[in-house]
């Protein structure tokens, strides 16, 4: 997520608005964003509703057996249509900003 924060100007130029969604409570998400210096939007999905809708549940993989999300990045257009997806099983493996920007360019 640090690389997303560092690339916010490039995302803005490309018309991309990064948003992070987590099963953490709103308070936990806000605290993480503040402590880490993130300025993009963090949303809470404490009941894992969005995570289930996008079939991203990693059942029991969180603290105390809590369901969490598999790592994923999406490009969603203004109509709500998913245009690009990057899924991994390893939470340390994420799409780099350059990959997201390239995927965005290829969709135009």
pLDDT tens digits for 9-29? 999 999 999 999 988 899 999
Question: What is the average pLDDT across 95-102?
Answer: 95
pTM recorded for the entire structure: 0.82
Distant-in-sequence contacts of 75-82, Cβ < 8 A, 24+ apart: 75/16, 75/100, 75/103, 75/104, 75/107, 77/107
Q: Which one, of 68, 8, 60, lies nearest residue 39 by Cα?
A: 8
- The whole-angstrom separation of Cα 43 and Cα 83 is 21
Looking at the chain, the whole-number percentage of residues with pLDDT higher than 70 is 100
CATH of 2-107 among 3.10.450.50, 3.40.30.10, 3.40.1440.60, 3.90.1170.50: 3.40.30.10
pLDDT tens digits for 24-68? 899 999 999 999 999 999 999 988 899 899 888 888 888 888 888
């Amino acid at each position: 997520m640090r690389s997303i924060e560092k690339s916010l100007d490039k995302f803005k130029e490309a018309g991309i608005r990064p948003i992070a969604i987590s099963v953490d409570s709103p308070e936990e998400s806000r605290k993480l964003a503040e402590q880490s210096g993130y300025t993009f939007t963090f949303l809470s999905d404490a009941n894992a509703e969005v995570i289930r809708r996008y079939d991203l549940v990693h059942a029991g993989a969180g603290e105390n057996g809590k369901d969490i999300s598999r790592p994923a990045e999406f490009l969603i257009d203004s109509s709500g249509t998913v245009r690009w997806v990057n899924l991994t099983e390893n939470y340390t493996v994420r799409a780099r900003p350059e990959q997201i920007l390239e995927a965005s360019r290829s969709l135009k």
